[in-house]
Chain A
């Protein structure tokens, strides 16, 4: 790396960097300021009803919006941010990468720079370092602006259950120390037991979605079935046993297997009753449920500050545990999201850099580069929209680096996934290595 070239290139591209960063961060910040107005007027609930229409929902989803989470602060942020700013960031990287080397050729300044006593490899590394620096700086500014914007509007937002892995383990440890306290601490009663058991069951189902698809089950019917069961399992079992035909047709079970089906249901009911008994006798089962999804036990404390103090006292948890769990947003998760954004923009930049070196005389690749960015962007959106209909559409979507990001950042356990990071790094590294190979032997024509 040659610091003379690096500093000069930083200086020459500084203005563009400032303008783009200011625009992107400005849109991000001022866009977030709309959040209080939108929640206060109940506009989001209105939108929810508006987007009940699946057609409308699909259209908005195609632009990267996540309708179901639009109401929460982070949902609004992700929808907003994935809608404009990641695209803008990618365009900035394309513009910068597209002219970093090409402009030296098209403006013919290569005759000046490339005849100096600097190897082509050093020139490549110094200039690429400028691209990398500005992408990282942009994402850092993006992160800081996001934190500021979310801090500025967070008071109007409902809190989320954001429990870290560490806090989860602390609670589990304390439960193991005070096993008898859990029933009072988490207000476990006959009435809310079904919620635990069925959330756990539906989580298992979710994990076996592939199986469900094979069985040709209707997702909507399944969801209503789970809801029905959750409302009152005893009544649900009773209903199935007195009127099994309806449910049998749902699972495509032939009528001659009626007796067998009834036997199964009776078995399930027996199992359910036994599970319930176990649940109130030893904490093992509760721990298992808690391990799978702590939010079921914790959500009851979310909306009312101070409501968890009883549980904290009974389990001997740290005083600030409630504050640690119920937050408006998590800075850590925001950092992970911005890392994904950074990796995405880096991949796009590297691809455009490679494109620009494949062209003779430094002719502009900006048109093609923007075409590629928009193609990836809409491919991601469209495949997301069609993913529910066909697994093939979902697979095709993985061509687009936009799909490699994980934007579901209020979900429990959100973090950097190794294969996502690896995909981004492989594409970036491969593009840069190929670009270097071309550049080392590139003829600079008159």
Chain B
């Protein structure tokens, strides 16, 4: 079956929502196909949550359309949400309730009488069901959120910033569960503000910035956006200017000279970078993932230069 004939799981068309002084979103259009692990990335405040909350029926769009499983989400939202599991970015549950009764409540709301999955996932995630919601740490609340989204074996999982605030151990458990659900045939839509997470999980991405979709692509294309931020400290006496560094390190840009050192962004082969760096009179060197905003800056200023 070709992709063109398949009905997209999520399809938004010119979705626009503005509220108060917040920016909101403008003309957001994208579609998520069956089996996709779709990443929705953008810096904080770009409109990721607004888009997701509009899809989930928490916000109502000013204009535009949302279709879920091929049906109109505005008129049939409740019916369609039977097939969706949702984890919001901020996790708040009824404080006085026990974890077990909250999860049972969630199962009842989905009309699921089988409680097996609650036990199964709570064991896998090591979540104590007898605790009270108000006593839970952020990490444990995340576990509750993940389980309540999976109880009813959804066909679509929507996560808003799923791994923020999770420690690495549970993060990997979470990725494991996600892979399991994906193998079961579940389509996954997740938002994130870290590129590396999206890179690890997703096959397609949409990038949103200041309320507008600026790029939708496969993962290979995204790799071109792959950047490293470097910070160098030189041995005393060796004086290097920004121009020198640009000559020494092809692919480096946005270079600023600091006291006794320099920093900037590097796009290209990491091995070539390391080779070049080893030839330099270095006292210390740091390589790290830049923030998304920095990547966009790089991406856009390069584009502008080309014009």
Contacts and interface: CB of A to CB of B under 8 A. Distances in A.
Max chain B CB contacts within 10 Å: which of A111, A122, A441? Answer: A111
Interface stretch (A113-121, A145-153, A269-277): A113-121
Contacts of B60: 441, 443
A7 to B, nearest CB: 9
A443 B79 contact: no
Given A4-B109, A444-B58, A115 B94 contact: no
A114 B92 CA distance: 13
B109 A446 contact: no
Given A111-B58, A114-B58, A446 B90 contact: yes
Nearest to B160: A111
Given A109-B94, A110-B58, A112-B148, A117 B105 contact: no
Nearest to A112: B93
B237 to A, nearest CB: 53
Nearest to A360: B20
A394 interface: no
Contacts of B111: 117
Contact of A111 (B77, B90, B108, B110): B90
B53 A446 contact: yes
Given A115-B86, A116-B110, A117-B82, A108 B92 contact: yes
Chain B interface residue bracket vs A: 20 to 34
18 contacts: A4-B105, A4-B108, A5-B109, A8-B105, A107-B94, A110-B58, A112-B93, A112-B106, A113-B109, A115-B84, A117-B82, A117-B109, A119-B77, A122-B78, A443-B19, A444-B53, A444-B58, A446-B53
B49 interface: yes
Contacts, number: 67
A8 B107 CA distance: 13
Contacts of A422: none
A18 to B, nearest CB: 15
Interface of B: 19, 49, 53, 56-60, 77-82, 84, 86, 88-90, 92-96, 105-106, 108-111, 148
Given A4-B105, A4-B108, A4-B109, A115 B93 contact: no
A139 B56 CA distance: 39
Contacts of B148: 112
B94 A118 contact: no
B188 to A, nearest CB: 16
Interface of B is mostly: mixed
**Sorted from nearest, which 7 A-B pairs have the closest CB atoms?**
A108-B92, A117-B82, A111-B88, A117-B81, A119-B78, A444-B58, A116-B109
A12 interface: yes
Contacts of B86: 115
Contacts of B90: 108, 111, 446
Interface in A307-327: none
Given A8-B105, A107-B95, A111-B88, A445 B19 contact: yes
B5 to A, nearest CB: 28
A440 to B, nearest CB: 9
Given A115-B88, A117-B82, 5 more contacts: A109-B93, A114-B57, A116-B109, A443-B58, A443-B59
A120 to B, nearest CB: 8
Contacts of A446: 49, 53, 89-90
Interface in A368-393: none
Max chain A CB contacts within 10 Å: which of B77, B80, B109? Answer: B109
Contacts of B108: 4
B222 to A, nearest CB: 27
Nearest to B81: A117
Nearest to B89: A446
A112 B53 contact: no
Interface string A414-446: 000000000000000000000000000101111
Nearest to B58: A444
Nearest to A106: B92
Nearest to B54: A443
B78 A117 contact: yes
A196 B59 CA distance: 72
A118 B95 CA distance: 22
Nearest to B49: A446
Given A4-B108, A117-B79, A117-B109, A112 B92 contact: yes
Contacts of B49: 446
A113 B95 CA distance: 14
Contacts of B82: 117
A133 B78 CA distance: 26
B96 to A, nearest CB: 8
B210 to A, nearest CB: 17
Contacts of B58: 110-111, 114-115, 443-444
Given A8-B105, A444-B53, A445-B19, A109 B92 contact: yes
Max chain B CB contacts within 10 Å: which of A108, A444, A446? Answer: A446
A122 B82 CA distance: 15
B95 to A, nearest CB: 7
Nearest to A3: B108
Contacts of B56: 115
A109 B108 CA distance: 17
A444 B110 CA distance: 21
A2 B105 CA distance: 12
Max chain B CB contacts within 10 Å: which of A116, A119, A122, A445? Answer: A116
Contacts of A118: 78, 109
Contacts of B94: 12, 107, 109
Nearest to A12: B94
Contacts of B93: 109, 112
Contacts of B92: 107-109, 111-112
Contacts of A122: 78
A145 B56 CA distance: 48
A230 to B, nearest CB: 67
